[in-house]
Every structure is written in structure tokens, then in C-alpha cells.
């Protein structure tokens, strides 16, 4: 018995008519009768009661029909997946991102889904160190992250997706909330709310940043998500250094004000392993590359 035999049987069981099932399968009625008879002979059981008036499934036929339908569904899924993989498009494209990429990822994923609706997208947020390790271990196909997180990587494709100035997030009631630009002097003796160590900014990195730009914080406290951090800012717990593009994208009652620091432009990138031959990844990276070129050409 082969798949085609199961298709003939399932059609006959659905229609309970050799005439209709033969039409559906584009074969002669006599050929359909022979196919069903051959299946019954192979199984050694009767699958149909047949009379001049009507045709019905036997109890054995009903049980066989249930299993045959399941086999055909699995077969069709197997065919789809095999063809999908052969064409280079795996069923799932795993995309990882970090704390400060939550405002960047959606627009690119949305554009990709429109172009490739048959590719399923799986999104996961990770601490940046975990994100990069998952990329290297092929546990995620594509990663959105700050460019400086990729400096040690070898054999990767990297495309810049966002460039921005550092800004300061403050409560709208804060004394510096009405400034058009913040200087390092404005930030002395302030409480800073930073992402916790496992999310984005290691305390040592924050300390080096303060030393570089000449800031003397009062103290530093941590929040484990972007929402928690911005919520603490709104509540007046402290201030945060954030990407400029967060301005106008949150529902919190805060002000996001540019920080006046020379040569402090930051870049976020999308990165993938160059050795990964999955065409879905390559198509995603090409889409990002085309987007980057269009952005540059319209500046």
C-alpha cells in the first residue's frame, strides 16, 4: 500500500461514493473500485458495506479512515517542510534582541513577514552576553545588538540598522526636564537607573562611561527590564542614559533629552553567521541591507 492508495481510500470514505471519489481523483470509477478492493485484500478486512442503494464504512473502515487522515496530514506536512527546506526557507527564523533593541526590531520583522509570509518568526529577548553566545552557538539565527557587542566576532555578516545620540531620560517633573540639551555637568550628583548587569550595562562599563565624560553620580541602582527602568524614571527615583530614539515612543510621563557629548554616536546592528546557508537568514539580511541603503540615499 502506498500514499496514493490512502488518498483513494480517504476520498471514497469521505464521499461514500465511488463515482464522486473517482471524479475527485481523476480516475475511472472501475479503477477506484479496484483500488479499494486491493486495499481490502491487503488488509484482510472489509472497509465498506456496498449495496445498490448506498455505501457505508464498516467499523474497521471507520477506524482505518481516522488513521489514514492522520497519515495523510503528516505526509503533506512532511512534503511541505522538505520542499521548504530545499528552497532554503526553514519553518522558523529565530531572531534574538537585547534590552535597547525593542524599538528597532518590530518594523523590520513586519517588513520581512510581508515579503515572506511562509517563514515563521520566533522572537526572544536575551541579556546581550547571552544573545551573542546564542548566535555563536546557532541557537538564534539573527541578533539585533549594539555594534560594540560584535567587535570580537569572526565570520559574521553585520549591517548597521540604527545610529543615534545618547540621551537622558528624566521625569517630566525633574528640574532639568525642560532643557533642550543635557551636559555632563547637569548630571553630577544624580541617581542613575541602569539596566541590571545581566541585561545590558555592566557596572564597570557604566563607571568607565562616567569617567570618560566627566560625570560624578550620586549612586547607581538597577532595573531588569526597559519598562521597569522607565517606570522608575517616571516615579522620580532617578535618571537614565538611553538611546535618542526612545523619545516619543513610550507611554511614560518622561522627557528624553539629547546628551551633549562629543563623538558619542552609537550604532545598533543586525548580525548573522556568514556560514549559515539558510536562505531565510540571507533574505532577511538582504532586506536590512536594502533598507540601510534607502535610508542613506534619502538623507
CA angle 251, 257, 263 (to 5 degrees): 130
Position 280 scores a pLDDT of 86
pLDDT digits (tens, 9 = 90+) for 161-220: 988 888 899 999 999 999 999 998 998 999 999 887 655 555 667 777 788 888 888 888
**Residue spans in the chain of domains classed CATH 3.40.190.10:** 92-162+268-297, 163-265
Q: DSSP class of residue 182?
A: B
Tell me how far apart the alpha carbons of residues 10 and 3 are, in angstroms, rounded to a whole number: 10
Closest CA to 269 of 160, 127, 139, 154: 160
CA–CA distances in Å: residue 102 to residues 85, 167, 243, 285: 29, 17, 11, 18
CATH topology of domain 3-86: Arc Repressor Mutant, subunit A (1.10.10)
Q: Which whole number is the average pLDDT over 33-58? A: 92
Cell numbers describing residue 276: 549559515
Closest CA to 50 of 17, 21, 5: 17
Q: Which whole number is the average pLDDT over 146-155? A: 90
Closest CA to 93 of 140, 138, 128, 135: 140
89 pLDDT higher than 60: no
Tell me how far apart the alpha carbons of residues 150 and 223 are, in angstroms, rounded to a whole number: 24
Higher pLDDT, 31 or 85: 31
Cell numbers describing residue 66: 481516522
**Residue spans in the chain of domains classed CATH 1.10.10.10:** 3-86
- Residues 270 and 285 sit within 8 Å (Cβ to Cβ): yes
Tell me how far apart the alpha carbons of residues 88 and 67 are, in angstroms, rounded to a whole number: 31
Position 111 scores a pLDDT of 92
Q: Poorest-confidence range of 91-95, 135-139, 182-186? A: 91-95
Cell numbers describing residue 207: 563607571
- Residues 92 and 278 sit within 8 Å (Cβ to Cβ): no
Instruction: State the alpha helices, DSSP H only, in 44-177.
Output: 59-86, 105-115, 128-136
Position 248 scores a pLDDT of 78
Higher pLDDT, 70 or 81: 70
Tell me how far apart the alpha carbons of residues 287 and 107 are, in angstroms, rounded to a whole number: 12
pLDDT digits (tens, 9 = 90+) for 233-273: 999 999 998 888 888 778 899 999 998 875 667 889 999 99
The number of residues in the chain equals: 299
CATH code of the region 92-162+268-297: 3.40.190.10
* Average predicted confidence (pLDDT) for the chain: 86
CATH code of the region 163-265: 3.40.190.10
Main-chain phi, psi angles of 16, to 5 degrees? 50, 45
Amino acid at each position: 500500500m502506498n500514499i496514493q492508495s490512502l488518498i483513494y481510500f480517504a476520498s471514497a470514505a469521505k464521499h461514500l461514493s465511488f463515482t464522486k471519489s473517482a471524479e475527485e481523483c481523476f480516475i475511472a470509477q472501475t479503477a477506484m473500485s479496484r483500488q479499494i478492493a486491493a486495499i481490502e485484500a491487503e488488509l484482510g478486512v472489509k472497509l465498506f458495506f456496498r449495496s445498490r442503494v448506498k455505501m457505508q464504512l464498516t467499523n474497521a473502515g471507520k477506524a482505518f479512515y481516522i488513521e489514514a487522515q492522520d497519515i495523510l496530514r503528516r505526509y503533506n506536512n512532511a512534503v511541505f517542510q522538505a520542499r521548504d527546506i530545499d528552497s532554503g526557507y526553514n519553518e522558523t527564523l529565530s531572531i534574538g534582541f537585547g534590552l535597547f533593541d525593542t524599538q528597532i526590531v518590530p518594523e523590520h520583522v513586519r517588513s520581512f513577514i510581508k515579503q515572506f509570509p511562509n517563514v515563521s518568526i520566533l522572537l526572544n529577548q536575551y541579556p546581550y552576553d547571552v544573545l551573542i553566545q546564542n548566535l555563536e552557538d546557532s541557537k538564534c539565527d539573527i541578533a539585533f545588538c549594539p555594534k560594540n557587542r560584535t567587535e570580537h566576532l569572526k565570520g559574521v555578516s553585520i549591517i548597521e540598522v540604527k545610529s543615534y545620540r545618547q540621551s537622558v531620560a528624566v521625569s517630566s517633573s525633574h528640574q532639568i526636564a525642560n532643557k533642550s540639551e543635557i551636559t555632563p555637568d547637569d548630571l553630577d550628583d544624580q541617581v542613575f537607573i541602569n539596566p541590571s548587569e545581566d541585561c545590558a550595562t555592566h557596572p564597570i562599563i557604566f563607571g568607565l562611561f562616567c569617567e570618560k565624560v566627566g560625570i560624578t553620580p550620586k549612586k547607581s541602582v538597577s532595573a531588569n527590564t526597559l519598562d521597569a527602568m522607565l517606570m522608575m524614571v517616571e516615579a522620580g527615583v532617578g535618571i537614565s542614559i538611553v538611546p535618542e530614539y526612545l523619545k516619543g515612543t513610550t507611554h511614560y510621563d518622561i522627557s528624553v533629552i539629547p546628551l551633549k557629548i562629543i563623538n558619542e554616536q552609537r550604532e545598533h546592528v543586525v548580525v548573522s553567521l556568514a556560514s549559515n546557508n539558510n536562505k531565510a537568514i540571507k533574505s532577511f539580511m538582504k532586506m536590512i541591507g536594502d533598507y540601510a541603503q534607502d535610508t542613506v540615499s534619502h538623507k
